[in-house]
Amino acid sequence: MGLFDRIKRAFTGEDEVVHQLEAKDQESKIVFDTYDKGMEKTRQNFSQRLNALFSGFREVDEDFYEDLEEAFIGADVGFDMTMALTDAIRDEIEERHIFKPEEVKEVVIEKMVQIYEKDGTQLAQLKTNPNGPTVILFVGVNGVGKTTSVGKIAYQLKQEGHKVLMAAADTFRAGAVEQLNVWGQRLDIPVVTGPDQGDPAAVVFDAVKQANEQSYDYLLVDTAGRLQTKLNLMDELAKIKRIIERENPNGVQEVLLVLDATTGQNALIQAKQFNQATEITGLVLTKLDGTAKGGVVLSIRHELDVPVKYIGLGEKATDLQQFNPEQYMYNLVRDVLEVQKNG
């Protein structure tokens, strides 16, 4: 059963699989509640725009498609994603000769879900290294929550029973090393550091050596991210990667770009720029709970072949959740379907 069918059945009650995503075990309930609360602003923004569109629905014409595009762009889905979605919706409506508003609404949501789950794989899982410590590099501009994300993910990995080491390789930003040290003390996780303004690659060398010698499961590396000096960034990351590949079997497993969801489409622009500078394997989208611009997840998925791995849905360490596309899409569209169900 596809994701759209699961979401639809949760609302229509066609069978006993009502609200499958709201699982009964405590851990799943916590995840659902976190998504529910953390996506509230995004859900309200999206549902208000679509419900307003359909409340005045008369017929499927060019005015309807223009209003639909405006609703998507207003929900921060992004221009390219909006055009792709609208074209897919138009083709489906014309092929199936759909005219009723509730059927049109279902097509809109179905196409959104299909575009997101285009390959059907579970991309949020972190890659691991079977022959040594799993090395994860974190990149991102100042102020997006990069160092905090390193700490929160380290906390979660430790809670899962893993032996974790952190490396403060953002040696040029004032306070970055101190901030990671605070996380280390709070979590009782060691942090490898170097001198202020020192060579980040030297810090990484020491960290990889310690991770190997002391059999750590994960090494999380906080690196600098200075887009205004992209060439320096590329050189610095390339040097760090060479050292890791020389000292650690299988090299680097993940390069995670941390983005601030409150910046909306600017986050997508940053993702494109960083993807040109280094090979990004995943994204961490922070502060989703503080914005109505969560539609950027859809445009990132559409425009970059890079999966979202984590999203920030609150201030607590546990609120940085491993990205669950089912929970995200369910919480994004459920108010739209709720109106249809009650109507």
Band of residue 9 on the pLDDT scale cut at 50, 70, 90: low
What rounded mean pLDDT belongs to the chain?
84
Distances (CA, A) of 222 to 12, 50, 70, 284: 46, 40, 39, 13
Predicted confidence at residue 138, as pLDDT, reads 94
Q: Give the residue, 270 or 93, on which the prediction is more confident.
A: 93
Does residue 66 surpass a pLDDT of 80?
Answer: yes
Please write the tens of the pLDDT for every residue from 271-295: 888 887 788 899 999 998 888 888 8
Question: Rounded distance, CA 80 to CA 259, Å?
Answer: 19
DSSP string, 180-193: HHHHHHHHT--EE-
Q: Determine the pLDDT at residue 50.
A: 87
Higher pLDDT, 96 or 4: 96
CATH no. for 134-325: 3.40.50.300
Of 195, 143, 144, nearest to 169 by C-alpha is 195
pLDDT tens, 128-179? 998 889 999 999 888 889 999 999 999 999 999 999 999 999 888 768 899 9
What angle (nearest 5°) sits at the alpha carbon of residue 75, between those of residues 144 and 41?
65
Least confident of 135-149, 256-270, 327-341: 327-341
Whether 184 and 326 have beta carbons less than 8 Å apart is answered as: no
Q: Quote the pLDDT of residue 20.
A: 47
Structure token digits, residue 161: 């029973």
pLDDT of residue 198: 85
The reported pLDDT for the residue numbered 23 is: 52
pLDDT, tens digit, for every residue of 188-198? 999 999 988 88
pLDDT band at 120; cut points 50, 70, 90 = low
Nearest to 289 by CA among 36, 10, 24: 36
pLDDT, average across residues 209-221: 96
Closest-CA residue to 149 (of 136, 161, 135, 159) = 136
Give the DSSP letter of residue 133. Answer: P
Which residues fall within 8 angstroms of residue 158, CB to CB, at 6 or more apart?
A: 164, 187, 189
Lowest average pLDDT, out of 11-15, 61-65, 173-177, 190-194, goes to 11-15
The rounded percent of the chain whose pLDDT value lies above 70 is 85
Return the pLDDT at 17: 35
Question: Within a 13 Å sphere around the CA of 118, how many CA atoms are in the beta-carbon half?
Answer: 13
pLDDT at 18 over 50: no
The pLDDT of residue 26 is above 70: no
Are 105 and 87 contacting, i.e. CB atoms less than 8 angstroms apart?
no
State which fold the 3-121+329-342 domain adopts: Four Helix Bundle (Hemerythrin (Met), subunit A) (1.20.120)
What is the pLDDT at residue 203? 95
What pTM did the predictor assign?
0.85
User: Any idea where the domains of the chain sit in the sequence?
Assistant: 3-121+329-342, 134-325
Q: Across residues 264-271, what is the average pLDDT?
A: 85
Query: Can you give the pLDDT at residue 340?
Result: 55
CB environment 95-106: b (16+ within 10 A), e (fewer)? eeebeebeebbb
The total of other beta-carbon atoms located within 10 Å of residue 170's CB is 26
